Structure 1
Amino acid sequence: MEGILPLWKPKGYTSHDCVMKCRRYFKTKKVGHTGTLDPEVEGVLPICIGQATKIVPFLTNTKKTYIAEVKLGSSTDTEDAHGSMVEEKEVLEFPSETVIDKTLNDFLGDIIQIPPMYSAVKVNGKKLYEYARANEAVERPKREVTIYELEKLSINPKAHTVRFKVVCSKGTYIRTLCVDIGAKLGYPAHMSALVRTETGTFSEKNAVSFAMIEEAVEQNEQQSLLHPIMDGITHLDRLYVNEDTKRKILNGQKLAEPKNIELKDPFAVLHHNELLAIYQHHPDKAEQIKPVRVFSERS
């Protein structure tokens, strides 16, 4: 079995929990997820099965869409509603919709984030949350992320909350975005709710629940829930090759740089509609391209 399972991760499960369950459902150890979702967050978590695990880093590197809620007036050590209070400030005058819209607009494009202490970002080989739990201070690395869309959906002045939709790049911390939006509005803040509605081409519309998977398992129809591997890399450029070149690719050979075609790294290599490999330009030899991932030939 191979393909991509667009799982709707429920609250209360870690991404690793989901991988372990899918290993049992699909009877294989070759299972990987494509971008961690916190246990208390629900949403789209594409799971790669079989040879699809080879595209995990490329599918992880796609745009994500979230529906989030920021609550003004208090901040926490985890930057979400599950942490301990760090700072509090009474919201005497909730910002106007005009001010909120302008503030959200300020975050569009490339922005710099400092990841939360309670995150899996590594510093000197150790995850930030490990430093946080040990009460150890450490300098957090700044990182550039991209906010493609940021749209206010609703406000609740009584609850001091703003609900918004965000489309962003890999590595964006929505918790941190909420804190930074709050700071710009003049208040300590935290993320009070979050749902991931899209990852790449996979969305809430085509996601499957554990109940749906269990029903398919009973009918021995798990394969019907899996999407083709190509669905996970639609954002990559494509190079089509002939039968002779296909043999070389399946043997993991480097190839001559294709003429009259511009390809951004990494790119998919296909024979007709069969995905053969992921290639990139050779870092040292400008006249060559080299394989990054090669897929076994299907029977």
Structure 2
Amino acid sequence: MYEGILPFWKEKGMTSHDCVFKLRKILKMKRIGHTGTLDPSVEGVLPICLGQATKVSEYIMDQGKTYVATISIGTSTTTEDADGDIVENDSTSKSFSREQILEVLAELTGEVTQIPPMYSAVKVNGKKLYEYAREGKEVERPSRKVMIHNINLLDEAATFSGQEVTFNIEIECGKGTYIRTLAVQIGELLGYPAHMSSLVRTASGSFTRAQCLTLADVQSAIEEQTLIDTLLPLKNALSAWPTLEVNEEIEKSITNGQVVEIHPLLMENDKIVYEMLGDPIAVYIKHPTKSGMMKPEKMFSSIKGD
């Protein structure tokens, strides 16, 4: 049984669930989880959690993401990407200066309000939006605040013109950002219908494209017995918080997951990580009801010697 985080590259044509299903067969283990859904037409970094690392998948999902997207100005679609049916097509000749596009990208940087697309897994009244969409129904969707840290225009042209204007951008953003919807918002600010014509996730938290293996790579690594060299320890998902080595005084309390007196570091952080011999054994948070106390949010058993 493998333990750790597999930096994985999801290829086009597969769902995130497809990847997990195939990896379970290749690795011959059930305890596998992905760290956030990527649409079938999207390729990119999708860290896969194995064994105990499945306990930290939510932490990876909460970390920032980096994408490279192609924005197409002139056509909107039902899904806000290239997979949907055309809703509006403005075939007039368009021309935008580099400065115009940069101004729009700057306006969409920071905290941004988005309305999730109808073809998404967001639930309204207990039902996923894409289920309503497939029934031909459109329902009111709650808006959400997302954080877009940075948007870079990757193309160096001084002017972008034509009936269908396309350009590439790199986006660094927080959890829950819909790049498809961002494409539509860019079009709205430029005054035209728009959609996202392609998307690649180049980073997920600290995991980058350069680290990733494809399904074929994983299969080869299994055959060559080198996969263990590629796996990253689950502590990689905990690097955002202070780490403490347990001492004899509190070792029993922490390893048993007891409620204990709060550590001063929790006054400045939302979590702290306790380690034993370099391995995480617990993530502690402030106790929600007992003032001055803290409780475990996650517990891990030692895998040394397994």
Please indicate the TM-score interval, normalised by the length of the shorter structure. Answer: over 0.9
Which whole-Å CA distance do the structure 1 matches of 2:39 and 2:138 have between them? 23
Q: Partner of 2:48 in structure 1?
A: 47
Which whole-Å CA distance do the structure 2 matches of 1:132 and 1:116 have between them? 10
Q: Is the 8 A contact 1:68 1:165 kept in 2?
A: yes
Q: CA deviation at 1:233?
A: 2.3
- The one-character-per-residue Cα deviations of 1:119-161 (angstroms, maximum 9, x if unpaired) are 0111121111011111223111111110001010016534510
> How many residue pairs are counted as aligned between the two chains?
299
Letter in 1 for 2:129: L
Q: Partner of 2:22 in structure 1?
A: 21
Q: Is the 8 A contact 1:277 1:295 kept in 2?
A: yes
Residue 95 in structure 1 maps to residue 99 in structure 2: no
Q: Is the 8 A contact 1:246 1:276 kept in 2?
A: no
Which whole-Å CA distance do the structure 1 matches of 2:38 and 2:66 have between them? 13
Q: CA deviation at 1:294?
A: 0.3
Q: CA deviation at 1:45?
A: 0.2
Letter in 1 for 2:255: L
Letter in 1 for 2:38: L
Q: CA deviation at 1:261?
A: 5.9
Identity %: 46
For residues 220-239 of structure 1, the aligned pairs below 5 Å read: 220-239=225-244
Aligned match of 1:157 in 155, 158, 161? Answer: 161
Q: Is the 8 A contact 1:81 1:190 kept in 2?
A: yes
Q: CA deviation at 1:244?
A: 4.1
Which whole-Å CA distance do the structure 2 matches of 1:95 and 1:247 have between them? 65
Q: Partner of 2:271 in structure 1?
A: 266
Residue 209 in structure 1 maps to residue 210 in structure 2: no
Which whole-Å CA distance do the structure 2 matches of 1:98 and 1:151 have between them? 12
For structure 2, which runs of at least 5 residues remain unmatched after alignment? none
Aligned match of 2:185 in 180, 187, 190? Answer: 180
Which whole-Å CA distance do the structure 2 matches of 1:183 and 1:237 have between them? 43
Q: Is the 8 A contact 1:26 1:222 kept in 2?
A: no
- Of residues 66-75 and 157-166 in structure 1, the stretch that sits farther from structure 2 once superposed is 157-166
Distance 1:226 1:260, change over 3 A: closer
Distance 1:249 1:25, change over 3 A: farther
Which whole-Å CA distance do the structure 2 matches of 1:45 and 1:14 have between them? 11
Q: CA deviation at 1:272?
A: 4.6
Q: CA deviation at 1:269?
A: 2.1
Which whole-Å CA distance do the structure 2 matches of 1:291 and 1:81 have between them? 45
Distance 1:298 1:245, change over 3 A: farther
Distance 1:223 1:69, change over 3 A: same
Which whole-Å CA distance do the structure 2 matches of 1:247 and 1:172 have between them? 42
For residues 1-299 of structure 1, the aligned pairs below 5 Å read: 1-154=2-155, 157-158=161-162, 159-259=164-264, 262-299=267-304
Q: CA deviation at 1:93?
A: 2.3
Q: CA deviation at 1:221?
A: 3.0
Which whole-Å CA distance do the structure 2 matches of 1:104 and 1:24 have between them? 43
For structure 1, which runs of at least 5 residues remain unmatched after alignment? none
User: What RMSD over aligned residues (CA atoms) do the two structures have, in Å?
Assistant: 1.5
Letter in 2 for 1:157: S
